[in-house]
Structure 1
Amino acid sequence: MVKDISFLNEEQKKFLMDYVKTKKVDAFNKVQKVAAIGYEGLENASSENMQLLIDEWVLIDYIDNGFVNNNTPCECGRPLRYQYIVKNNKSGEIKRLGVNHFEKHISLKKHVVKQIKKEFDLIDKEITEISEKTKAKWSIENEISYIPNDYKFNKADNIKKQLDMGLALSARQINYLIKEFNQKILSDNKTVNLPTHEVSNIDVYNYEEKKITSTVYSLSNIQKERIRELYNRGVKNPETICEFLIKNKIAPSHRYSTGKPKIFPSVCIFLENINGS
């Protein structure tokens, strides 16, 4: 966890602690199963299902005291700040360990422990990112330029709850939402054909209600290259791409009276061609 979260309220602190616990339990158990069967297609497996699949030790709980605490020792007696509680699926035995003693006390292989530590480190970095952004008064509008009004957040991932309580989102969560929004826009679109000369007269605010198919023109090779790069990185929202191009002086900043960039229709059409290719 991040060193200082004193600026957060109790609800926010509890949310982040629960978030870390859930993520670390999932990471520990998935790494073990992947190591055991050599199969990585387990991203959507629940923690409960993962525990049923693992033959031996599973992580069932995680404690962060905030400080080194004599009341939460490792099996060897060393006091811990972070205590990992594991259970043997065969015998039912429970052990309480520090992260550096997985190999010693439950005989996990070195490469498995190394991967578990790597996953734990990524989770801790994500929490640090969320906390630092929250402290800096982060706003979702600065990251995502367009959110469908009727988009329904997945209750299972708790992102809506996270936003409602005033916590920032991590880059991983933002990328996930952008992909979700793009998929929704594409699924809601209806295909229409427009003559090339009508492209500049598109009702840009209603673009999400229709798919536009036409010959792409007016974009330079450099602009097309940058759009493809963004698309391949998962950035597929046309408004986000337009603002990126403008901010980096790759496209002119001319806008319609509505505020939409004038390059927006061409970007939309080019994205449709990429998606259909």
Structure 2
Amino acid sequence: MSKIFSKNNLQEAYNILNVEQKDFLENYIKRSKKTQWLNSWAKKLGIVLDEHDLEDPEVSMNKLLDWVLLEYEEADSKTGEMRCECGRALKYRYTIKHMGTGKVYRLGIVHLGQHTGLDLELVRQVRQGLNRIDLEKDEILLKMLNGWKLSFKIPNDIELPKDIELQMNIGLPLLTSQEKRLKKIINKANKSLDFHRNIDLLEIPKSINNTGVEQAVDLINKLRNVEINELEVLELYRFIKDNVNNLNAYELDIKAIRKLVIQAQSTTKNKNIRKCLIDIEFFIDYNS
């Protein structure tokens, strides 16, 4: 998700949430950050986590780890009010607890590694994972502000994952990643019945002409430069769907196309193009 919003946008979106939605969002963020911390440490320690361990990451941290994450926060402004134990002003701060001594530390990323023994690469991965969770919160808020609606129907007999079911029941938008996961669940259920029941975010109009290989190459180049328009992305989509089993014969690398599709998703500001790109990515994943 691209940072094309302001703090005021996010606050406006947060203000329109009801109490239940706010509670869910705050608990989701806290739980997700602790799960990220738990997974990172499990990787370092060689611990294999099961579903039971991940049901309550706080309990699992207390049981399995010497260091537990209490809070990860971002400073609201460059006032210098958020500081490390050493006195240095921070943009991001980790509040952690040592289970053996019960002592709590408030640290920046440098001292986090020094205190806990995490190597620099793993510290970097932890930070990226925690920041991604904050972006997920922002994505939900902006979709709420923009009046998000699920763009495909869910069959009545589909059992939804708990997180998706709860989120939809209280009226919060799904993340794009959750939409993709939900589509895979629906398509997996439909696969044994009829492949053509697979859902698309966008229907391809019958008026879209068949695209030749040379034209498809031109469209892929436009995609690479993010210069593709709504009609052209639909033409590319139809070409891929019609020729998914022949792309190698045309010397077109489906993995390279997928990479360009994902890059363009994060760059284009056109919602219709982005939806179509999401569906192209899903189609490629489903047929690979």
TM-score under structure 2 length normalisation: 0.55
**2:64 aligned with 1:53:** yes
Q: Structure 1 99/162 Cα, relative in aligned 2: closer, same or farther at 3 Å?
A: farther
Instruction: Give % identity.
Output: 28
Structure-2 separation of matches of 1:222 and 1:94: 54
Distance 1:222 1:154, change over 3 A: closer
Partner of 1:225: 243
Shift of 1:31: 0.9
Task: Quote how far apart the aligned CAs of 1:83 are.
Answer: 4.5
Map of 1:25 onto structure 2: 34
Partner of residue 3, structure 1: 7
Structure 2 counterpart of 1:150:
157
Aligned to 2:143: 133
Query: How far has the Cα of 1:150 moved from its partner?
Result: 2.9
Structure 1 position 50, deviation (Å): 4.9
Partner amino acid, structure 1, of 2:189? K
Name 1:96's counterpart in structure 2: 106
Amino acid paired to 2:178 = Q
Against the structure 1 CA distance between its residues 67 and 160, is the aligned structure 2 distance closer, same or farther, given a 3 Å change threshold? farther
C-alpha displacement of 1:34: 0.5
Q: Map 1:57-68; keep pairs closer than 5 Å.
A: 57-62=67-72
Cα distance in 1, alignment partners of residues 167 and 240 from structure 2? 38
Q: Within 5 A, what are the aligned runs for 1:111-190?
A: 111-141=121-151, 145-155=152-162, 157=163, 159-186=164-191
Distance apart, 1:36 and its partner CA? 2.7
CA distances 1:125-167 after superposition (whole Å, capped 9, x unpaired): 22222222222211112xxx23111333333x2x233223332
- Listed as ranges, the gaps of 5+ residues in structure 1 are 192-203, 206-219, 234-243, 249-266
C-alpha distance in structure 1 between counterparts of 2:108 and 2:160, whole Å: 36
Per-residue deviation, residues 80-128 of structure 1 (Å, max 9, x unmatched)? 6754332223333322334454124434321121110111122222222
Structure richer in strand, relative to its length: 1
Residue in 2 that maps onto 1:35: 44
Per-residue CA distance 1:16-74 (angstroms, 9 max, x = gap): 2222211111111211221232x7x64744123355333x2121344567567998753
Output the TM-score relative to the length of structure 1. Answer: 0.57
In structure 2, do the counterparts of structure 1 residues 223 and 81 end up closer, same or farther at CA, with 3 Å as the change threshold? closer
RMSD across aligned positions (CA): 4.5
Letter in 1 for 2:45: A
Partner residue of 2:223? Answer: none
Structure 2: tracts of 5 or more residues without a match: 198-237, 248-253, 259-272, 278-282
Q: 1:154 to 1:76 in 2, by over 3 A?
A: same
Q: Is the 8 A contact 1:29 1:51 kept in 2?
A: no
Q: Give the total of aligned pairs.
A: 209
Q: Is the 8 A contact 1:72 1:81 kept in 2?
A: yes
